[in-house]
């Protein structure tokens, strides 16, 4: 990673997961405040290691830089989430940055399922995630962002938000997604942008193709009882699936993503999955 000097926090967290005779074991290579990781737990048995990342400062301000490295050895299976929503506070001029680097070895699986990011009005935030998949590896991740604390009547009238997700395999891109918004931009109200909705979300499943029956079953999950203000969509790729949400409710978006997540896990690994106890849904 490129290290950029900053007057704020420069936090780093390195997590590794290895397979030991069918048990995924966890080790923390580096932990620099305010990023920490809780003790791993195994609610689904030894095969899948659950870990939760904690930001002890309670929020991110301009000038902060967060670096997270996740490394999965062959056959390992980890589910990584966050203890709470990420709060990005108003900037006084500097950009807050987050860089996530993920390496998933052959036949390994990472479920990267953080809680939502809340951008306060005036926040300046840039997040970059790069995933390197070995042949046979699977990445299942989601991202939820709320622009403004709308429950308080706040709008994202000032600030910057930029997001980039890249998933690569054998030196070739499987998926590259770049997004960016400026506070007060016409895109916030445009039907080609957010259409006045403050919450956007993306779920990504990459590394394993879906057959026709699986696609049909997933399409049925797209027809659910949402409110009129919400829009959802699915795009099938040769090596996976992309799901989008645009609406007013992070809870509603998370519930839909959890429904898809549970379906994919049941079809692929035969798991009867319950949502993490950390997710308020």
pLDDT 10s digits, 216-238: 888 887 766 565 668 888 999 99
Distance of CA 54 to the CA centre of its chain: 15
Calculate the alpha carbon distances from 53 to 37, 40, 146, 278 in Å: 4, 10, 20, 11
Calculate the alpha carbon distances from 60 to 8, 82, 131, 133 in Å: 9, 14, 23, 29
pLDDT in tens, 6-55: 467 899 999 999 999 999 999 988 888 899 999 999 999 999 999 999 99
The Cα–Cα gap between 36 and 111 comes to 18
- Taking alpha carbons only, the member of 47, 43, 39, 45 closest to residue 18 is 47
- Taking alpha carbons only, the member of 123, 128, 60, 127 closest to residue 93 is 123
Contact predicate 98/128, CB 8 Å: yes
- Taking alpha carbons only, the member of 78, 29, 27, 81 closest to residue 55 is 81
Kindly report the pTM of this predicted structure: 0.92
Percentage of the chain exceeding pLDDT 70: 94
pLDDT in tens, 235-281: 999 999 999 999 998 988 998 999 999 999 999 999 887 777 777 65
Contact predicate 275/258, CB 8 Å: yes
SS (H, E, C) 82-142: ECCCEEECCCCCCCEEEEEEEEECCCCEEEECCCCEEECCCCEEEEEEEEEECCCCEEEEE
Query: Rounded to 10 degrees, what is the CA torsion of 140, 224, 216, 241?
Result: -20
Which range is least confidently modeled, 61-65, 149-153, 250-254?
149-153
Predicted confidence (pLDDT) at residue 122 exceeds the cutoff of 80: yes
256: phi then psi, degrees, rounded to nearest 5? -65, -45
- 10 Å CB burial of residue 119 (0-12, 13-18, 19+) is buried
Q: How confident is the model over 140-158, as a mean pLDDT?
A: 89
Rg (CA), the chain: 18
Helices (H), 162-249: 212-222
- Is 156 or 280 the better-scoring residue by pLDDT? 156
- Taking alpha carbons only, the member of 118, 198, 204 closest to residue 164 is 204
The Cα–Cα gap between 275 and 262 comes to 8
The Cα–Cα gap between 112 and 121 comes to 27
222: phi then psi, degrees, rounded to nearest 5? -75, -25
Residues contacting 233, CB < 8 A, separation 6+:
222, 243, 244
pLDDT of residue 280: 67
The Cα–Cα gap between 41 and 25 comes to 10
Contact predicate 73/19, CB 8 Å: yes
């Amino acid at each position: 990673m490129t290290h950029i000097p900053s007057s704020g926090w420069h936090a780093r967290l390195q997590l590794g997961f290895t397979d030991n005779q069918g048990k995924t074991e966890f080790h923390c290579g580096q932990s620099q405040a305010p990023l920490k990781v809780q003790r791993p737990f195994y609610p689904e048995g030894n095969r899948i290691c659950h870990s939760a990342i904690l930001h002890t400062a309670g929020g991110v301000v301009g000038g902060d830089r967060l670096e997270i490295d996740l490394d999965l050895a062959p056959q390992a299976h980890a589910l990584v989430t966050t203890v709470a929503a990420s709060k990005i506070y108003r900037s006084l001029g500097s950009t807050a940055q987050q860089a996530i680097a993920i390496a998933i070895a052959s036949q390994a699986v990472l479920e990267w399922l953080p809680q939502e990011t809340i951008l306060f009005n005036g926040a300046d935030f840039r997040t970059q995630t790069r995933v390197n998949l070995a042949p046979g590896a699977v990445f299942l991740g989601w991202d939820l962002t709320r622009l403004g604390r709308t429950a308080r009547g706040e709008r994202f009238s000032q600030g910057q938000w930029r997001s980039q997700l890249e998933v690569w395999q054998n030196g070739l891109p499987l998926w590259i997604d770049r997004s960016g918004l400026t506070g007060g931009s016409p895109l916030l109200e445009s039907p080609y942008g957010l259409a006045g909705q403050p919450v956007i979300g993306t779920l990504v499943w990459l590394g394993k193709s879906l057959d026709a029956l699986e696609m049909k079953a997933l399409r049925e999950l797209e027809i659910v009882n949402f409110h009129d203000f919400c829009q959802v969509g699915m795009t099938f790729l040769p090596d996976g699936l992309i799901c989008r949400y645009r609406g007013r409710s992070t809870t509603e978006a998370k519930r839909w993503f959890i429904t898809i997540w549970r379906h994919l896990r049941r079809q692929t690994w035969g798991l009867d999955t319950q949502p993490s106890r950390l997710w308020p849904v």
